[in-house]
Amino acid sequence: MDLLHPSVLIVEDDRTFRARFEKIVSRTANLRIVAAVESVAEALREIAAHDVDLLIVDLGLPDGDGTAVIRKAVETHPDCAVMVVTVFGDEENVVTAIEAGASGYLLKDSTSEDFALAIDDLLQGGSPVSPMVARLILNRVRGSCTPVSESGEADESAARLSEREAQILTLVAKGFGFGEICRLLSISTNTVKTHVNRIYRKLAVHSRGQAVYEATRLGLIEI
């Protein structure tokens, strides 16, 4: 990721919302819009043609599902931060987007200020979500059962995260950026990144959103 001038791809078929997102991004210091498109096909071409540090994407697109764009962006640019902005706040869409690689999930009734703050939070390593979406995820986690192995034994994954890893992931889940975590725990940025990479490997995930979702589902952290 280009930390000085992150590149942004906007994928939104509604002209009014697309213009709104472009305006918000343009007002955010150092961000650079590489393209603003309205379809899956156009988005895939832009992902192939440019480095993309931040993807802002709707789920309901005229030629397909926005999760296809998310998967391709994360596959092509592993460090790409993904922000879903959509009208769909149901469990199926939220979970599917997170599993595809989304790190943030906002509903379109959010204010422009909320969007701007969420973009900054996302680029700092946070996982911003709309309150209704956060509640949905928590309710899903509370209703899930403890995973068991084929032998009927409880899954050993609850012991896979170290105390420090669980501590860092809990702070990520609460929206703290890497810089804030460094200050709170008095550790370096490289140390935080090393722990995060280990968390990804242990949970077999590829994004902050996936890590938070999987860890809460397994009961490894509490939000």
Topology of domain 154-217 in CATH is: Arc Repressor Mutant, subunit A (1.10.10)
Lookup: tokens for 129: 């979500």
pTM for this one?
A: 0.65
What are the extents of the domains in the chain? 7-138, 154-217
**pLDDT score at 143:** 56
Q: How far apart, in whole angstroms, are the C-alpha atoms of residue 21 and residue 55?
A: 11
Question: How would you classify the pairing of strands 64-65 and 60-61?
Answer: antiparallel
The CATH classification of domain 7-138, taken from the options 3.40.50.970, 3.40.50.2300, 3.40.50.300, 3.30.1440.10: 3.40.50.2300
Question: Would you say the CATH fold of 154-217 matches that of 7-138?
Answer: no
Residue ranges of the chain whose pLDDT lies below 70? 1-4, 29, 137-159, 223
- Per DSSP, what are the bridge partners of residue 57? 11, 84
**pLDDT score at 158:** 42
**pLDDT score at 66:** 94
